[in-house]
Amino acid sequence: MTAVAGGTSAAEGAGSGEDAFLAAFDAAVAAEERIEPRDWMPDAYRATLVRQMAQHAHSEIIGMQPEANWITRAPSLRRKAILMAKVQDEAGHGLYLYSATETLGTGRDELLDKLHAGRQKYSSIFNYPTLTWADVGAIGWLVDGAAITNQVPLCRCSYGPYARAMIRICKEESFHQRQGFELLLALSEGTPEQHAMAQDAVDRWWWPSLMMFGPPDGESAHSAQSTAWKIKRFSNDELRQRFVDICVPQAEALGLTLPDPDLRWNEEKGGHDFGTVDWSEFQAVLKGNGPCNEERITQRRRAHEDGAWVRDAAAAYAAKQAAGSDEKAVAA
Amino acid sequence: MSAALALADDALVLSHRLGEWAGHAPVLEEEVALANIALDLLGQARSLYSLVGDEDELAYLREERAFRNVQLVEQPNGDFAHTFARQLYFSAYQLPLYRALAATDSDLAPLAAKAAKEVEYHLDHARTWTLRLGDGTEESHARMQRACTALWKFTGELFQPVEGLEADPAALEAEWLVDIREVLERATLTLPDGPRLGGWAAGAGRQGLHTEPFGRMLAEMQHLHRSHPGATW
């Protein structure tokens, strides 16, 4: 976006000047141009992006926990390597997303403090426990699958740094999703015990995955504005429908069933009808009353607090090095 | 081929310990770095096991007394300083060893040449943290000194002869000592002066005599695999 570049200072953004900036911003969004960090943008647009991107970054970081829970118990060395690589990728995604969020004028430390204080959220899905090895596969197939369905449209989001981060992240996520599917397939086609383990995991993760698309369209607080700003490209219900339609044939290929007696093909709409999500459960998890909310945030806080002396040491060492090179410069 | 098995067990066990850090590291960059090192080591273990037999049978179906790793790598993570003292000692051993093996015409040579590149990075990273912690704050200095001293007694075993290993342990040990002395000095740390071998507690991992935490580590690692005999994953 170039039309409004340069008009970034708050002083310039007052009075009739602001109207001109807003008009140029709206025109750029309408023309599918990317908004870049130095461009003028409405305060509410900035705030919405910070909220959404920080939440996205936090989800990558908290999302490491349920999967890392199985690293030390992975049943083969190949699976262990795949899982370690995946958890490592998630930390990397968190780093991209914090960097992208920082372009909006905030800092990673500030964002982490808000996460630790419970003032910024992360995806509700990570408040569910991983009880068996098959859960690792169900997370890959369903949770990453839902994340990709949500995130692919974000690759065209109006804010440039977010869109570019999503392009990189979606490539890796697709890979994880296929690996999760393949893990479940190996279980499904394995011993009767392994098959049962896979089915149980899908039974537990199916509905929480559908909740990842957010509340129904009628009850989604941020949707209308986000759609107008081209941050959001499709409604929650549209994406949820798309996800269900993708998953049904995949479940058949896996030889597993989805735990929804109301799930059936609807010829007329060209999609599947499906049962009603338990929104009271969704609300409870969002409010902090899910199965693992307390554990997840406690572990995150503890890692941060236990690591404080390490970060202090790195800062002190860097300061000494900088002072040392100053002395050398003076001496020379 | 007992040498490959010993080196594979070293890499597997240390990789496992580093994997325990996932989600617990002091900064996100270290989540990436620790997982990266763990993955490199796991890759090394898998290649080495493939020279001996089936990797999963070797990793999951042997009991504690059959593992040939040095006791150093099985030591619990402790704090971040403890983890990096262990990493420094081990990477500074692995690098000259792999370089020496890469120059032989043994079965291990191609694998050692590839692994040496990875270990160069591991050692660089461990040295960096040794400097930061040793020459950081008073607290980090004390923690790093404590860690270096606590793990010292496990370092002599690294240079015990291993059957079939085409490397001169005395030369490796000399190089290791020079390296460690240099980095600890730069980090304002004192080279520990306790024994590096001897006594029941330290230095018999290569004979299958391990320390107590190792059994629990294996129980966790092997539990699922052993619960489903004959299954594929």
Write out pLDDT tens, residues A151-160: 999 999 999 9
In angstroms, the CA A157 to CA A56 distance is 14
Query: Could A88 and B24 be called an inter-chain contact, meaning their C-beta atoms sit closer than 8 Å?
Result: no
Nearest of A137, A148, A123 to residue A246 by alpha carbon: A148
- Which tokens in the block code for residue A41? 């943008």
Average pLDDT over residues B38-62: 98
Kind and range of the H or E run holding A272: strand A271-273
pLDDT of A6 > 80? The answer is no
- Could you read off the pLDDT of A116-138 as tens digits, one per residue? 999 999 999 999 999 999 999 99
A69 pLDDT tier (thresholds 50, 70, 90) = very high
Q: How far is A317 from chain B (nearest CA, A)?
A: 5
- Could you read off the pLDDT of A54-67 as tens digits, one per residue? 999 999 999 999 99
In angstroms, the CA A37 to CA A1 distance is 10
| Residue B198, pLDDT score | 67
In angstroms, the CA B197 to CA B180 distance is 17
Of B23, B39, B224, nearest to A75 by CB-CB distance is: B224
Q: Cβ of A314 under 8 Å from any chain B Cβ?
A: yes
Work out the number of other CB atoms within 10 angstroms of the CB of residue B96. 20
In angstroms, the CA A206 to CA A247 distance is 10
Contact present, A124 and A163 (Cβ < 8 Å): no
- Could you read off the pLDDT of B8-27 as tens digits, one per residue? 999 999 999 999 999 999 99
Interface of A with B in 20-79 (CB under 8 A): 61, 64-65, 68, 71-79
φ, ψ dihedrals at A32, nearest 5°: 65, 25
Of B46, B131, B224, nearest to A77 by CB-CB distance is: B46
Judged by average pLDDT, the poorest of A307-311, B81-85, B181-185, B201-205 is B201-205
Q: Which domains does chain B have, with CATH numbers?
A: 3-227 (1.20.1260.10)
Chain B residue with Cα closest to A58: B28
Of A73, A95, A313, nearest to B140 by CB-CB distance is: A313
- Could you read off the pLDDT of B146-179 as tens digits, one per residue? 999 999 999 999 999 999 999 999 999 999 999 9
ipTM: 0.97
Chain A residue with Cα closest to B230: A191
In angstroms, the CA B61 to CA B65 distance is 12
